[in-house]
Structure 1
Amino acid sequence: MKAVAYKEFGNTDVLQIIEQAKPTIQSDEVLVKVKAFSVNPMDWKIRKGEMKLMSGSKFPKKTGADFAGIVEDIGTSVTGLKKGDEVFGVVKNMMKEGASAEYIAVTSSLVWKKPSDISFAQAASIPVVGTAAVTALEKMGNINSKTTILVNGATGGFGMFLLQLLKQSGANVTAVTSTKGTDFAEKWGANFVIDYKKENVLSKKVTYDIVIDLSGKIGYKNAKQIMNSKALFLNPTPKTVEIPISFLSNLFTAKKHIVILSSPSTKSTDVLLKALANGLQIEVNKVFPFDQYQEAYDYAEKGGYIGKVVIEIN
């Protein structure tokens, strides 16, 4: 079978198509014929060696974490799934495994049936950023219409899920996005939208109960000036050093710096499937064919797009 892989850390030019044997499955695994896998920022952070302490340096490495496809075979202890099921899921160890292949073997607990009314590309967009959005929602605690929330970088994949989950929870949300993202932010439920190309949210002298920085461009230090006295700053893109520092600083300040670390599970997926049934929409910005994998990652790494980027395998 064909797989997109790399044999050294680097930019997109290290990616290549390699031939590998079709994987065999353990008793608790399913073999999935991959139809689509999505692109996430974590993919290139791992590929560039920024996370080698967790990913290790054993090559070749595949890329991609979440996928959608068709069940080709099931292990002897697998229940609830059968051959031919249309499914979506995520690899078990996102640091060391990848979904960028024609077939992958995956633990059955991380594979779910695909809703019939969404495409493979849409389904492949769910697990990583969807779970992160559910985790962020949980970190916010009890929120209601009086809770003021600022979402910075609001119309990428993470923001797409988060805005719609927040809308379904009834929170008062201000979204910061680009000019081309304003319509999407409004459609996805933002009460107020700030075009960062026209206004600087830090200079508006408006404060919030929760600030979540999806773009990683505000930072906790700057965010404090627009946070209420007992506000939360949620950080889904922490630098390694920020994890222990945030824990220590929270002991001495009422303005808390909360690092978001998430891992897909049936619990989070159930929340997302319920939200989908209640009208949550998945915007796939662009779909690339398998043989244009390098163009797909070049496009994604430039940023500035709405929703998700997906690679399909015919």
Structure 2
Amino acid sequence: MKAITYHQFGNTDVLQTVEESLPTIQANQVLIKVKAVSINPLDWKIRKGEMKLMSGSKFPKHTGVDFAGIIEETGASVTRFQKGDEVFGVVKNTMKEGALTEYIAVPATTIWQKPSHITYAQAASIAVVGAAAITAIQKMGNINAQSNILVNGATGGVGMFLLQLLTPRAASITAVTSTHAMDFAKKWGANIVVDYTKQHVLQQKNNYDIIIDLSGKMGYANARKIMKPQSLFLNPVPKPIEIPASLIKNVFTGKKHVVILSNPSSKNMDMLLNAINTGLQIEVNKTFPFAQYKEAYLYAEKGGYTGKVVIEFNEASTHNS
């Protein structure tokens, strides 16, 4: 079977297609024929060596975290799924494993039934960003109609879920995005939309109870200028050094820097599936065929798009067992 690997840290040029044996499954695992894999910033952070403290420096490495596909085989102790089920999920160890391969063996605890009304590309786009959005809302604590929330980089993968999941909570949501994505931000529930190509949010007079920096471009030091005395800065894309540093700084200030580390779990996937089955929209900006995986990563790493970018496997792919 075909898989994407790399043997050194670097840009997209280190990625290569290799032939690997079909995985054998353990009793608690399922074998999945992969139909789609979504791209996340974590993919290139690991590949570029930014996460080597957690990923290690042992090669070859695989890439891709969340996927959708069809179950080909189930392990002896698996009872929730059967051959032919359409599912989506994540690899168990995001730092060591990769989903960008024709077949993947994963524990049954890291997959969920794909809603029948969405595509494989949409299903592959759920787990990582959806879990991050739910974790962010949990970190926000008690939010209500008086809460003033700023979402910076509001129409990427996490923002797409976050805006829609925040809407029922009636908070005032300001979304910062680009000109072409303003309509999406409004559709997904933002009360105020700031076009960063025309206005600088740090120069506005509003102060916020909560700022979440999904783009990773604002930073806590800048955000402090528009934070209320008792407020939260949520950081879902921390540099490794920011994780311990934020804990120390928070002891001395009311403007808290909160790092978000999330893992898809059954509890938050159940919440997401309920939202998806009652109307939450999943926007796939662009899909690439498997053969164009390098182009897909180049496109994704440039940023500036709405929703998610996905790599799809076509039926012409073949595998060697």
CA distance in 1, matches of 2:236, 2:85: 33
- How many angstroms apart in 1 are the aligned matches of 2:212 and 2:125? 21
Residue 41 of structure 1 aligns with which residue?
41
Which ranges of 4 or more aligned residues in structure 1 deviate by more than 4 Å?
none
Q: Determine whether 1:157 maps to 2:170.
A: no
Separation in structure 1 between the aligned mates of residue 65 and residue 127 of structure 2, nearest angstrom: 9
Structure 1 counterpart of 2:63: 63
The amino acid that maps onto 1:181 is A
- Taking structure 1 as the reference length, the TM-score comes to 0.99
Q: Does 1:278 align with 2:275?
A: no
Matches of 1:269 and 1:247, distance apart in 2:
28
Percent pairwise identity: 68
Q: Is 218-227 or 286-295 further displaced after alignment? A: 218-227
Check the 8 A contact 2:115/2:277 in 1, yes or no.
no
Corresponding residue for 2:123? 123
Q: Equivalent residue for 2:319? A: none
Counterpart contact for 2:136–2:234, Cα < 8 Å: yes
CA distance in 2, matches of 1:5, 1:243: 29
* Greater CA drift, 167-176 or 294-303: 167-176
2:243 maps to amino acid: I
Deviates more, 1:69-78 or 1:57-66: 57-66
TM-score w.r.t. the length of structure 2 is 0.97
TM-aligned CA deviation for residue 206 of structure 1: 0.4
Question: Superposition pairs for residues 141-180 of structure 1, below 5 Å?
Answer: 141-180=141-180
Residues paired across the two proteins, number: 314
Give the aligned partner of residue 75 of structure 1: 75
Distance 2:100 2:283 in 1: 21
Q: In structure 2, the residue corresponding to 1:87 is in which secondary structure? A: strand
Q: 2:101 & 2:61 partners in 1: Cα distance? A: 11
Q: Could you tell me which amino acid in structure 2 is paired with residue 72 of structure 1? A: E
Alignment correspondent of 1:246: 246
1:42 Cα deviation after fit: 0.6
Quick one: which amino acid aligns to residue 140 of structure 1?
A: M
Match of 2:309 in 1: 309
Residue 182 (structure 2) aligns with: 182
- 1:219-298 correspondence runs (5 A): 219-298=219-298
Match of 2:3 in 1: 3
Q: Secondary structure at the match of 2:71?
A: strand
3-state DSSP of counterpart to 1:32: strand
Tell me the amino acid that sits aligned with residue 203 of structure 1: Q
Return the offset for 1:182.
0.4
Which amino acid letter does the alignment assign opposite residue 188 of structure 1? W
Unaligned ranges ≥5, structure 2? 315-321
Shift of the alpha carbon at 1:229?
1.4
Q: Which amino acid aligns with 1:265?
A: S
Q: In angstroms, what is the RMSD of aligned CA positions? A: 0.8
What is the CA–CA distance in structure 1 between the aligned matches of 2:219 and 2:251, rounded to whole Å?
Answer: 19
Q: 1:125-181: per-residue Cα shift (whole Å, max 9, x none)? A: 001111000000000011112211000000010110101111132221000000011
Deviation at 1:52, TM superposition (A): 1.2
d(CA) in 2 for partners of 1:143 and 1:279?
A: 22
Q: Which deviations, in whole Å up to 9, do the C-alpha atoms of 1:71-117 show, x marking residues without a partner?
A: 00011111110000000000000000000000000010010000000
Deviation at 1:278, TM superposition (A): 2.2
1:211 and 2:211 correspond: yes
